[in-house]
Structure 1
Amino acid sequence: MHNSVNDCRFVDLPMFPDHRGKLSFIQNDQSLVDFDFARLYFLYDVPFGGQRAGHAHRALRQLFFAFSGAYDLHLDDGFEKRTVRIEQPNRPFMVRPNIWRIVDGFTSGAVCAVLASDLYDEEDYIRDYETFFEYARGLK
């Protein structure tokens, strides 16, 4: 199934502010996203000008958070490209399978946390852009 960069979207988490600060949450009940979480990983202390990702996933679904600071998420479905700025902890961004992603533009102290639909599986990765491009074009 071909996913478009336009199928990827921000998710607005509930937020409860009061004089003590703000509280937001997400539960593994598919009320806000259409997948269960199997793994959490996070990127931090990324050097100035550093870049992460540079791959696509065949099946994995992900939810990208900015727990601190901000960063850019560049998406490519083989037909269209899109860039979003992730900068609010209560507004993660959901990325569908078969989307090439690059993460960069990290601010000082940025923490990128990602909820993933499955455990790590190297077979799910497409790490070469030309291979991805051919794969994505074949899915349409």
Structure 2
Amino acid sequence: MIEGYKIVQIPRISDERGNLSFAELGQLLTFVVKRVYWLYDIKEIRGAHAHKELQQFIFCTHGSVEFTLDDGQQRESVILDSPDKGLCITKPLWRELVSFQNDPQVIVLASDVYDEQDYIRSYKEFQKWMSIS
């Protein structure tokens, strides 16, 4: 198993009115959220990059999405298929969203604002960066 991510069970409160889930700082969230973005109407592979410093907490509120995560040596697949399951990425990992079912809607909570300098957009560059980090 590669390091740098974990699958977490997001709390769910259910009653006759429906379900409510949440993530709180100091519990599920280990970083202050500085950016929130969402993906929907996904038609083809997304991601295909890594971050040097950024941490993310990702969940799928509808449908399912498969992530391929890669540390430069090994690859693993993670499927988010329930709004009470989250993916927390805490270290540099190459990530791709590769498979989509039932019109997925994905929300990402990020530890920092958008910074192009934090992105590694070439897999070869990612492997090189990981070997010297």
Report TM bin, short chain. over 0.9
Q: Do the aligned residues in 1 keep the contact of 2:58 with 2:109 (CA within 8 Å)?
A: yes
User: Identity over the aligned pairs, expressed in percent?
Assistant: 35
Q: Which runs of 5+ in 1 are unaligned?
A: none
TM-score normalised by the chain length of structure 1: 0.89
Q: Which runs of 5+ in 2 are unaligned?
A: none
> In 1, distance between residues paired with 2:126 and 2:97?
17
Match in the other structure for 1:7: 4
Match in the other structure for 2:85: 91
**2:55 equivalent to 1:61:** yes
> In 1, distance between residues paired with 2:4 and 2:118?
20
**2:73 equivalent to 1:79:** yes
> In 1, distance between residues paired with 2:91 and 2:107?
18
Q: Do the aligned residues in 2 keep the contact of 1:73 with 1:104 (CA within 8 Å)?
A: yes
Q: Which whole-Å deviations, capped at 9, do the CAs of 1:53-100 have from their partners, x for residues lacking one?
A: 100000000011101000001000112211100111111101123100
Q: Do the aligned residues in 1 keep the contact of 2:66 with 2:77 (CA within 8 Å)?
A: yes
**2:22 equivalent to 1:25:** yes
**Pairwise CA distance, 1:136:** 0.9
Q: Do the aligned residues in 1 keep the contact of 2:4 with 2:91 (CA within 8 Å)?
A: no
Structure 1 window deviating more from structure 2 (57-66 vs 88-97): it is 88-97
Q: Which whole-Å deviations, capped at 9, do the CAs of 1:98-136 have from their partners, x for residues lacking one?
A: 100001211132101111000000000000110000111
Q: Which runs of 4+ in 1 moved over 6 A?
A: none
> In 1, distance between residues paired with 2:59 and 2:31?
16
One-letter identity of the residue aligned with 1:115: L
Q: Which whole-Å deviations, capped at 9, do the CAs of 1:34-62 have from their partners, x for residues lacking one?
A: 21111111111012xx1001000000000
Q: Do the aligned residues in 2 keep the contact of 1:30 with 1:36 (CA within 8 Å)?
A: no
Give the counterpart of 1:124 among 118, 122, 126: 118
What's the C-alpha RMSD, in Å, of the aligned pairs?
A: 1.3
Give the counterpart of 1:46 among 22, 28, 42: 42
One-letter identity of the residue aligned with 1:75: L
